Amino acid sequence: MKSLLWPLCLLFVLPLAAVAQSPSRYTISPLAKLPADSLLKTRLLVSLDGFLRDKDHPGQPSVYMDTAYLRGDKMGFEEIVKVENSAKRKDTGFYKVQLQNVIKLKQEETFLIKLGFVGLADGQPVVRMIYSIIGKDRKDRFVFYPARDYVIKDWKQQWVGNIHYLYPYTLDMAAARRFDRFNTTVAGWFGAKPVKLHYYHCSDAQELLRVKGVDYDANASYMRRGDSDKDNDIFMSGVGSPWYGHDLIHFYCDKFLPRPVNRAMEEGLAYYADGGWGESYATCLGILKKYAADHPGEDLYRAFKNNVSVGDISLKFTINALLLEEVIRRQGFPKALEVLKAENNDAGLEQSLHTHFGLTPANFNENIRKRLIAS
């Protein structure tokens, strides 16, 4: 009996061991400290290989992910979907995965796993991303989770009206109450009930990325950012405030408006409601007026078409906000939302401008300058 069983066992163990020594989808950093238990280590390395295969197909079943959990966190692993691709170098596998470390956590059978996505150009390593995932040992395999719950494990929580704030330090209650009231107002604009939002109150874009598992992203040099999951009413703010009116407009548009929606016009509504890049709508409008006054001979359609910005402020979105402001004042929000309903491209925007405002490239400059003087 014994002699028959042993070769059979080896049949099952050997392929695992072979994969463990040469995982196909990643290399292992010489500095990585892997679990001492060789069976556990093999399970981890084999499972990680399967996870890296499946990560590029979110929503598809995978034995290495908890699909029920991911239904409640649609952002899940989105930051590493096809992150190996370099558009610049036209190479879908330019950035190679490297397992950098495996860190045992306090919770039983749970590990923090660090992955690097690194390319090689002219002999120089190019780091695209350093990313964290959580691995849980299920005895037959590892299942991997986004790092979110681990990163925010010591955060505080508080409901303010309909807003469930999750925050690491302190909560500005006056701003939180103002945002809750704004949420109710915006819901009214969309003819909806106020959404009960889970608001991840991050200090800046870098902290928001860490909540999403990203320890380092070569493309993320900015300070402000928002993200959301409209199906689970998750709202992430990387602006260091419980107030983020601009992105709340995008959230409601995503959740309640049927497609297509013209994004440039949606930006106009967000500018109207809360300005852009931390500047109020009044400031944005002031910037546009100054630009028009400083460039009397310029056709504003050119600035609009080329999406000219002054600092971070987009003149195009400010013009869209100005147009929407008049619609809202005269005909109310339902009509303004009609203006957003156009294909999400230049042709869709031009069609919407023509249908709702009678604007053409030929009369645009004169019309907008008149509106600016009147506003």
What does the binding site for Zn ion look like in residue numbers (CB under 5 A)?
Answer: 267, 270
- Nearest distance in Å: CB 40, Zn ion: 46
Between CA 41 and CA 20 the distance in angstroms is 8
With respect to Zn ion, which residue has the nearer C-beta, 51 or 304? 304
Token duo for residue 262: 């013209």
With respect to Zn ion, which residue has the nearer C-beta, 77 or 317? 317
- Nearest distance in Å: CB 266, Zn ion: 7
DSSP state of 86: B
**C-beta contacts of 172-180 below 8 A and 24+ residues apart:** 172/241, 172/242, 175/241, 175/242, 175/243, 176/242, 176/243, 178/243, 179/242, 179/243, 179/244, 179/245, 179/248
Token duo for residue 74: 């649609």
- Nearest distance in Å: CB 177, Zn ion: 24
CA 284 to chain centroid: 25
Position 218: which residue type? A
With respect to Zn ion, which residue has the nearer C-beta, 27 or 344? 344
With respect to Zn ion, which residue has the nearer C-beta, 115 or 270? 270
- Nearest distance in Å: CB 250, Zn ion: 6
Strands 226-229 and 26-28: unpaired
With respect to Zn ion, which residue has the nearer C-beta, 163 or 249? 249
Position 102: which residue type? V
Strand (E) or helix (H) holding 215: strand 214-217
CA 180 to chain centroid: 22
Position 339: which residue type? V
Closest residue to Zn ion, judged by C-beta, is: 270
Between CA 276 and CA 281 the distance in angstroms is 7
- Nearest distance in Å: CB 234, Zn ion: 18
DSSP state of 75: T
How many other β-carbons are positioned within 10 Å of the β-carbon of residue 12? 8
With respect to Zn ion, which residue has the nearer C-beta, 274 or 350? 274
- Nearest distance in Å: CB 320, Zn ion: 11
With respect to Zn ion, which residue has the nearer C-beta, 213 or 245? 245
- Nearest distance in Å: CB 246, Zn ion: 6
Task: Write the DSSP string, 225-260.
Answer: -EEEETTTTEEEE-SSSS--HHHHHHHHHHHHSPSP
- Nearest distance in Å: CB 271, Zn ion: 8
- Nearest distance in Å: CB 16, Zn ion: 48
Length of the chain: 375
CA 3 to chain centroid: 56
With respect to Zn ion, which residue has the nearer C-beta, 64 or 271? 271
With respect to Zn ion, which residue has the nearer C-beta, 180 or 267? 267
Q: What is the CA radius of gyration of the chain?
A: 26
